[in-house]
């Protein structure tokens, strides 16, 4: 559908129906709205609807469906794949919908889908409450939760999607529906891990938990202890209690040596936490030890400075269950040659409650004690893209004998249908059936797409 096909009269009519704004190229705010975290993505929708209320979302979905326009949905704009922004079609920008209501007595939050993690955490922490989200505060709750949501509290409280009680969503037919265990339960299942395939989420209702002060921060080890630190970290992470979540990061020092650090979040009693994390402090002599009691809000924004807007990003990831010596050697060999000072390799731990949920209980299929193995390449100058992308792909390929086939959908770039299928794993066919029921024409296709059953391979 080309730009001229969006008739002026229809756009004017849309404007009279909505409370939010319609933006076109050249309008004030248009460029701000289409901008996303990954500066590699530079797409220009024909129209942007900055939604202000659920009715705007309904009008936007109807408008796109009736005119055959491509439709994309932008929450926090942090997907590295950049699917939030379409080329030429209609983009729904949800970032104006940020209301949140916290009920401290029932420990629930009803949160509109335009909130970032930082905004959500600030509102719930005012009541000493939290739920699992991710680790960088500018990320959007919507994309994160719909894909799963792996964060510091996953061991104790499960993934973000495991904490959903209900979801208000506008489906492809323009209906606002509540999906919950007792209403549209098939849709509720699919929304917990199936990404943006099933409609435009207006608001999420989350279960909250008491979390105020955590034991958080990181320990770094000298380059000559890097191998031993990773080996012993894996032993430690394999048995640590549900209250502890960890992330191991591997970077490159200014003189080209691999540096290993381990960050933790303990959400149980502090004195017990000090005892639990002690082995990490005894992994060789740490060159820095910053593990200390801190407000939960502090740990929730700790890595923010390392992920500013405006950089080029190319990520590769898969789940990783074991960390044999050969895998450690591979990681450290490539770490010494990282082409950009901003790039890191991460092992984000998923364990405890998040790992014990039945794989078919929600659409998030990858339930095991494991790491989300992440190669997070970022650099400034687009001219450096070939070098950085080649390094990332080489490391991923060298690590592939050790990696699971399964990949977290929220880490995917544009990597082809096999990788999309690997992201939904054993739940793909069931997702395709739910898709056929709620979005048979695949209106919501600008995502890591689940094809409706009748379109799905071999059917």
Ligand X SMILES: Cc1cc2nc3c(=O)[nH]c(=O)nc-3n(C[C@H](O)[C@H](O)[C@H](O)COP(=O)(O)OP(=O)(O)OC[C@H]3O[C@@H](n4cnc5c(N)ncnc54)[C@H](O)[C@@H]3O)c2cc1C
Q: What's the min distance (Å) between Cβ of 200 and ligand X?
A: 5
Looking at beta carbons only, is 30 or 307 nearer to ligand X?
307
Kindly state whether residue 412 participates in binding ligand X, applying the rule CB under 6 A: no
Q: Closest distance between ligand X and the C-beta of residue 293, in Å?
A: 22
Taken as a whole, the chain contains a residue count of: 459
Instruction: Please choose, from the candidates 315, 322, 329, the residue with its C-alpha nearest in 3D space to the C-alpha of residue 398.
Output: 329
Contact flag: residue 216 with ligand X (CB under 6 A): no
Beta strand 200-207 with 108-112 is antiparallel
Site track for ligand X across 91-120, x = CB under 6 A: ---x------------------x-------
Q: Which is nearer to ligand X, 232 or 371 (CB)?
A: 371
Of 78, 177, 232, 316, which one interacts with ligand X (CB under 6 A)?
78
Determine, following the binding rule CB under 6 A, whether residue 134 of this chain makes contact with ligand X. yes
> Does the protein bind ligand X through residue 150 (CB under 6 A)?
yes
Cβ 316 vs Cβ 372: under 8 Å: no
75 binds ligand X (CB under 6 A): yes
How far is 430 from 434, CA to CA, in rounded Å? 6
**Does 350 participate in binding ligand X (rule CB under 6 A)?**
no
Instruction: Note whether 125 and 105 are within 8 A (CB).
Output: no
By CB under 6 A, tell whether 139 contacts ligand X. yes
- Name which of residues 220 to 279 contact ligand X (CB under 6 A): none
Does 286 bind ligand X (CB under 6 A)? Our answer is: no
DSSP letters of 1-70? Answer: --GGGS-HHHHHHHHHH-SSEEE-TTSTTHHHHH--S-TT----EEEEEE--SHHHHHHHHHHHHHHT--
Stretch that binds ligand X, among 128-136, 318-326, 330-338, 451-459 (CB under 6 A): 128-136
- Separation between Cα atoms, residue 271 and residue 6, nearest integer Å: 62
Q: How does DSSP assign 242-262, residue by residue?
A: TTEEEEEEEEE-TTS-EEEEE
C-alpha–C-alpha distance, residues 57 and 59, integer Å: 5
Quick one: DSSP state of residue 195? Answer: G
Buried b or exposed e, range 72-98, using 16+ CB within 10 angstroms: bbbbbbbbbbbbbbbebbbbbbbbbbb
196 makes contact with ligand X (CB under 6 A): yes
| Residue among 14, 41, 129, 136 that touches ligand X (CB under 6 A) | 136
Residue among 19, 288, 277, 302 at smallest CA distance from 136: 302
- Residue 171 binds ligand X (CB under 6 A): no
Question: Does residue 334 belong to the site contacting ligand X (CB under 6 A)?
Answer: no
Instruction: With contacts defined by CB under 6 A, name the span among 103-111, 192-200, 228-236, 238-246 that binds ligand X.
Output: 192-200
**Which of 332/420 has CB closer to ligand X?**
420
249 vs 410 by CB, closer to ligand X: 410
Q: Smaller CB distance to ligand X: residue 78 or 252? A: 78
Neighbours of 143 (CB within 10 A): 27
Residues lying near ligand X in the complex (CB under 6 A):
36-37, 73-80, 83-84, 94, 113, 134-136, 139-140, 142-144, 146-151, 195-196, 200-201, 307, 410, 447
């Amino acid at each position: 559908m080309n730009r001229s096909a969006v008739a002026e009269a229809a756009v004017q009519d849309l404007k009279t129906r909505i409370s939010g704004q319609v933006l076109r190229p050249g309008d004030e705010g248009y460029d701000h709205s289409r901008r996303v975290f990954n500066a590699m993505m530079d797409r220009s929708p024909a129209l942007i609807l900055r939604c202000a209320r659920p009715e705007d979302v309904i009008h936007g979905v109807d408008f796109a469906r009736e005119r055959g326009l491509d439709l994309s949905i932008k929450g926090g704009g942090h997907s590295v794949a950049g699917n939030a922004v379409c080329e030429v079609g209609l983009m729904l920008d949800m970032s104006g919908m940020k209301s949140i209501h916290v009920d401290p007595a029932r420990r629930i939050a009803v949160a509109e889908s335009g909130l970032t993690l930082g905004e959500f955490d600030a509102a719930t922490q005012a009541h000493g409450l939290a739920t699992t989200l991710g680790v960088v505060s500018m990320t959007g709750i919507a994309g994160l939760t719909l894909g799963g949501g792996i964060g510091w509290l996953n061991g104790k409280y499960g993934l973000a999607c495991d904490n959903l009680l209900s979801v208000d969503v506008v489906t492809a037919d323009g209906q606002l529906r509540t999906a919950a265990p007792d209403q549209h339960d098939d849709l509720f299942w699919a929304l917990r891990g199936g990404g943006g395939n099933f409609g435009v989420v207006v608001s999420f209702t989350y279960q909250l938990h008491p979390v105020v002060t955590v034991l958080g921060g990181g320990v770094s080890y000298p380059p000559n202890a890097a191998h031993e630190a990773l080996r012993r970290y894996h032993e430690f992470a394999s048995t640590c209690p549900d209250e502890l979540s960890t992330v191991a990061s591997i970077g490159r020092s200014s003189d080209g040596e691999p540096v290993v650090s381990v960050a933790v979040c303990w959400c149980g009693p502090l004195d017990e936490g000090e005892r639990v994390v002690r082995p990490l402090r005894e992994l060789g002599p740490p060159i820095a030890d910053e593990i200390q009691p801190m407000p939960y809000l502090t740990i929730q924004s700790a890595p923010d400075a390392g992920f500013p807007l405006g950089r080029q990003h190319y990520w590769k990831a898969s789940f990783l269950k074991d960390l044999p010596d050969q895998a450690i050697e591979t990681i450290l060999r490539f770490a010494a040659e990282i082409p950009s000072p901003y790039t890191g390799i991460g092992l984000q731990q998923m364990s405890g409650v998040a790992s014990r949920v039945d794989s078919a209980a929600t659409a998030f299929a990858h339930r095991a004690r494991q790491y989300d193995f992440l190669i997070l390449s970022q650099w400034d100058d687009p001219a450096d893209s070939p070098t950085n992308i080649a390094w990332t792909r080489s490391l991923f390929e060298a690590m592939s004998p050790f990696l699971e086939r399964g990949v977290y959908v929220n880490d995917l770039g544009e990597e082809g249908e096999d990788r999309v299928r690997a992201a939904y794993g054993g739940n793909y066919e069931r997702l395709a059936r739910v898709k056929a029921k709620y979005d048979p024409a695949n209106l919501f296709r600008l995502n890591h797409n689940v094809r409706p059953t009748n379109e799905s391979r071999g059917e």
